[in-house]
Structure 1
Amino acid sequence: MKQLKAFKLALVVVSSFMAFSASAAPPPVVTDDPDDEPQHVPSIADDLVRADPSAPLAAHDAAVADIVSDAPFAKVIKNLAEAGRGERLSANSTTDVWALGNYAYTGTFNSPCGGDPDAGIWIWDVRNKTNPEFVGVIQSPTGSRTNDVRVATMGRGDILVHSNEPCAGGPGGYEVYNVEDPLHPVHLASVRIDDPNPLAPLIIAGPVTDVGVHNLWLFSQAGKDYVAVTTETVFGNFHIYDITDPANPMLVSFWGAEELFDPGVVASGDVSRNLDAAIWLFSGFGASQNRFLHDVTITPDGLTAYLANWDAGLVRLDITDVSNPQLVSVAIDPTSEDGEVNSHSVWPNANGSIVVEGEEDFSPFESQFTIDGSGPNAGTYASSEGEITSPIAEEPGAEMSGQTTYVGLACDGASVPAGSGIALIQRGVCAFTVKGGNVIAAGYSGMVVFNDEARGDALVTMGGTAISIPGVFVGHSTGLAIMGVANAADLVIGAGGATITAAVIPNGWSGMRIWSYADPANPILMSTFNTVCSANPTDPSCDPRGTYSSHNVIVEDNKAYISWYSDGVVVLDVSDPVNPVEVARYHRTGSEFETQNAGIQDVWGIYKIPNQPWIYASDRNGGLYILKEYGSGSAKNAKD
């Protein structure tokens, strides 16, 4: 829920997919426009992007079998039941969960932010599974949140690492603790991370320093201990640190998806090559276009890393030599699921023959923009719904429709002609919020902003202060087509244009992909799996307040244990990767549960005690849940 800070890509503002974690993943650029107004420079719109190196892999992937669970409330629920819980009744506060021995650890999201006594890693004594006890907090650095936490027994004892991401101007990087006595954690190290590419400040037009960390993974290899880190740098998002001496972490290596685009690009020191690579990294598929690393899982032997690399796909690396990770393969199929890739989480089975990958998508509807009628320009065009505008889904018929009137830049209210219907506005000079406010005052019920000539048909998501009008952003040529003119010089303020319709149609949340790695160099997509609500966001069984994207996954004995936000915890049997079968689910609804949970079910994290029936799930609203998995019999009461 997928975070880079907002950067300027050669003076063109680009913000990443994940300021996030559980926040929506917007289209490639979110801007309020004034900061995006200086001189035009080479960008994605200028056709400088080289061919996608993942395309050949996608072409060889097998056809997808789309499996949809036949019953979100079926009898499989009986096979997974609540045993106990650790209450943290605070809306949207709890993040990931991990455990070691008799203690579980949960993180904290944006509120409370670091500096508040409740912000940080909550420690739970889970010796009594039916009654876990809160025993303390490892405080977050002031101004930062703790999205991820990992803990493992390593050479120097029980080591805990947690990520830092700014929530109020705090530091990034990660922290290292000794938790051999979980009641008295000992802080060992703070690590701050800069972009490893010395050209990054030049390409991004500013420093890329002290970046956030979103996820981590502890592992050992050849008698040494390491932590793998998902960094919010532009280049080299995958870092490996030697923490054999946990008080003195040392960077060993880094790798980034830019190597898929142009092998050796960072080492080359070539500005042009690195600029092209950066542009590629900020592109991708569907709504949330970027190719930045989100999560990593490393095999128990410490030799193989699986990288959930968003729109770069699922990357497998050989890290036998931790100082020099080597690419093995990329698993990607942009045609699967909803046209997104959004590789978010990953876990292999024990022998690595099957790998389960989770997609995350917070855009269950897609925009559809048409110029209506039978004229020469009638048809469908690319568009991006505004982040600050009223949701089109909440308009009558889930659409914004009407005749357009060209109103110019709409930066001066006095210059906007009075009217009704849809205001067609040219991008530039003032913020989208100002433009929207002025056309509302002039009587319009919707707005379409089209790009300026210099930036062409590149799309942005309109950001800034919210305004009470539906609206979309379209390319420059689309704006001209609406008015039926050849160039911007022919536009006349007050002239009527074509009738347009901007609608939103359901295209699903996101589910799971099951890959065969029988040949690790050539993974094959065997199937995808969705719940009823992730497949169809308008199904009557789905809570309109809910989030039905999959989130995290753990695989054990050919079962995938998945945290699935408002669908709860879902367990799949993936022993036949062509036909994954749901065998258990923990799902709660109703007013009584919402009172007990401080909100609807919203499961973020998942941890399973190896070879035991106990599962820990973190709910963003309610805290820690301890679940017990049962076999074919009914779990009437897990507390028995």
Structure 2
Amino acid sequence: MTLPPPDFARNMKLVGHSDIGGRGDGLQLMVHRGYAYVAHPWSQGFSIVDVRDPRNPGGTTYVPAAPNTWNIHLQTHDDLLLVINALDLFADVETFADEKTYYTKSVGESVAGARTKRAWTAGMTVYDISKPDKPRKIGQLDVDGVGFHRLWYVGGRYAYASALLDGFTDYIFVTIDMADPTRPELVGRWWLPGMNKAAGEVSATPEGKRHALHHALVAGDTAYACWRDGGLTLLDIKDHAAPKLIKHHNWCPPYGGGTHSALPLAERGLLVVADEAVLDNEADGRKHTWVFDIREPSNPISISTFPIPDEIDYAKKGGHFGPHNLHENRPGSFVSDTLIFATWQNAGIRAFDISDPYRPVETGALVPAAPRTMTDKRPGRPRVIQSADVFVDAQGLIYATDYNAGLEIIEYGG
């Protein structure tokens, strides 16, 4: 197989590539027991790629979504695969033809009339993946509303999700009891004040912004939750049925929001937080990845930001330029509290050393070639790389998805 030559590489080498069975659009990514589980934003389902030989990826198994439903995020642990179900928002070209609508307006308001138009599946599906490329559905959690967005599950009794339920303006934090994986149960909820419209709360979200949970990572009894233009919350989840606020911290304004991914490094008392760039050509402002000191959880303090890629003028390249996802140090994957891997959209995949948390240093980068074909159905999208998610396996191999360009497998030289 001839690999597409990267546009730029430093201390990283492209060693494998898959077109994911002709469905090159990828969002969240898990690598588990030699198989890559890739969620699709436009192909309406998810795929499983055999990467036991990462330099020569093998066959692909495609699992279609239910009608009008997307499966854009998923989680693997042991013999379980959890896949979100939600209304396929980007299929609604009337509402979301301009991506700015999705990122600058409450989704609950945007799709308020959708229930009268069509049906979809909302919530989460649980699969048995004891045979990794032959997922077998064993459980289902259905909810009223748009559905789930993203999950966190690393085993144990509880999973965590962002959920847009009927009566809420946008996605909130929910806890899920997985004691019986065949019958998962939603047990707890937490939201920012003003989001529970059905209870008479008045929205506190400024015009042109979204207070919406993207997702939370959990370490110990604390959930570190990112709320797009609503900033960061630290939640005490000792009582999973009744999460409690430890601290809410929002830096939008003056910064442009998009708070997306949190990575707790609990033993060092640090938290890495990425603000997603959500509009082309930095129309939403320069976005940063922040390092917080969280030794005092009730008072997180930003102490540095990651350096900005500058080999070329990426802001003028087209598409989104800025942070998106972080490798999340999942059990069984590569785990480090000093080396951070991130996707930077049109600037590809990046590695950063935060041994000195006050002075993060970039230690590697790879910008994949532009996609050969476009799976993204939205009109007018530029044909540039938009690196979406990153997963680093226990051997240190980097796997990355793109909205159109397939699955990249990368060797880090550090």
Whole-Å separation in 2 of the counterparts to 1:92 and 1:533:
27
Counterpart for residue 70 of structure 2: 145
Among 535, 539, 548, which residue is 2:321 paired with? 548
User: Following the alignment from structure 2 to structure 1, what is the Cα–Cα distance between the partners of residues 299 and 21?
Assistant: 46
Distance of 1:278 and 1:528 partners within structure 2: 34
1:293 counterpart (213, 221, 224): 213
Aligned-partner SS, 1:351: helix
* Deviation sequence 1:93-146 (CA, Å, 0-9, x none): 322111222111001113x33xxxxxx111011111111223312221122111
Deviations 1:451-474 (A, max 9, x none): xxxxxxxxxxxxxxxxxxxxxxxx
What RMSD, in angstroms, separates the aligned Cα atoms of the two structures? 2.8
Report the AA paired with residue 69 of structure 2: S
Contact kept? 2:27, 2:403, Cα under 8 Å: yes
Q: How does 1:167-316 map to 2 (within 5 A)?
A: 167=88, 169=118, 170-194=120-144, 209=145, 211-220=146-155, 224-233=156-165, 234=168, 237-258=172-193, 274-275=199-200, 277-280=201-204, 283-284=205-206, 288-299=208-219, 301=220, 303-316=221-234
Q: 1:159 aligns with which of 68, 71, 80?
A: 80
Number of equivalences:
362
Q: Which residue of 2 aligns with 1:625?
A: 408
Aligned equivalent of 1:96: 28
Q: Is the 8 A contact 2:276 2:322 kept in 1?
A: yes
Counterpart in 2 of 1:582?
Answer: 362
Q: Tell me the amino acid that sits aligned with residue 326 of structure 1.
A: K
What residue is the counterpart of 2:277 in the other structure? 361
Shift of residue 183, structure 1, vs aligned partner: 2.6
The Cα shift of 1:320 comes to 2.2
Unaligned runs of 5+ in 1: 1-72, 114-119, 195-208, 367-505, 632-640
Within the alignment, does 1:602 sit opposite 2:386 as a pair? yes
Superposed displacement of residue 530, structure 1: 5.0
- Residue equivalent to 2:110: none
Q: Secondary structure at the match of 2:52?
A: coil
Shift in alpha-carbon separation, 1:361–1:106, aligned structure 2, 3 A: same
Q: How does 1:10-159 map to 2 (within 5 A)?
A: 77-88=9-20, 93-110=25-42, 112-113=43-44, 120-153=45-78, 158-159=79-80
**Residues 155-186 of structure 1: per-residue CA shift (max 9 Å, x gap):** xxx11011122225422211110101023211
Residue 349 of structure 1: how far off its partner (Å): 1.8
Distance 1:289 1:316, change over 3 A: same
2: distance between equivalents of 1:254 and 1:352? Answer: 29
CA distance in 1, matches of 2:374, 2:12: 18
Secondary structure of the residue aligned to 1:571 is strand
Question: Quick one: distance in 1 between partners of 2:54 and 2:239?
Answer: 40
Per-residue CA distance 1:368-389 (angstroms, 9 max, x = gap): xxxxxxxxxxxxxxxxxxxxxx
User: Retained in 2: the 8 A contact 1:331–1:524?
Assistant: no
Q: What residue is the counterpart of 1:615 in the other structure?
A: 398
For residues 84 and 514 of structure 1, the distance between their equivalents in structure 2, rounded to whole angstroms, comes to 32
> Who is 2:294 aligned against?
517
TM-score (norm 2): 0.79
Deviation at residue 92 of structure 1 after TM alignment: 7.1
State TM-score, norm by structure 1.
0.52
Aligned to 2:98: none
User: Any idea what SS the aligned residue of 2:203 has?
Assistant: helix
The CA distance in 2 between the partners of 1:352 and 1:309, in whole Å, is: 24
Name the SS for the 2:153 alignment partner. Answer: strand
**Residues 1:334 and 2:255 are matched in the alignment:** no
Query: What is the letter of the counterpart of residue 326 of structure 2?
Result: V
2:261 to 338, 342, 345: 345
Question: Structure 1 residues 614, 546: closer, same or farther in 2, change over 3 A?
Answer: same
Matched, 1:508 2:280: no
User: Would the aligned equivalents of 1:212 and 1:231 in 2 still touch at CA under 8 Å?
Assistant: yes
Structure 1 residues 298 and 352, CA, compared in 2 at 3 Å: closer, same or farther?
Answer: farther
For residue 603 of structure 1, what is the amino acid of its counterpart? Answer: S
- Tell me what 1:43 maps to: none
Higher helix residue share: 1
Query: 1:342 Cα shift?
Result: 2.1
Alignment of structure 1 residues 560-575 onto 2, 5 Å: 560-575=340-355
1:348–1:328 distance in 2 versus 1, CA, 3 Å: same
Letter in 2 for 1:546: G
Secondary structure at the aligned position of 1:292 is classed as strand
Identity value in percent: 24
Once the two structures are TM-superposed, the CA of residue 544 in structure 1 deviates from its matched residue by 3.3
- What is the rounded CA distance, in whole Å, between the counterparts of 1:82 and 1:597 in structure 2? 21
Task: Please give the alpha-carbon distance, in whole angstroms, between the structure 1 residues aligned to 2:19 and 2:34.
Answer: 17
The structure with the largest strand share of the pair is 2
Distance 1:541 1:562, change over 3 A: closer
* Aligned-residue offset at 1:278: 3.8
1:353-432 equivalence runs, <5 A: 353-363=269-279
Structure 2: gaps of 5 or more residues:
1-6, 92-117, 329-335, 376-382
Task: Give, in whole Å, the separation in 1 of the partners of 2:22 and 2:54.
Answer: 22
User: Are the structure 2 counterparts of residues 343 and 583 from structure 1 closer, same or farther at C-alpha, using a change threshold of 3 Å?
Assistant: same
Please tell me the residue identity of whatever aligns with 1:579.
Answer: R
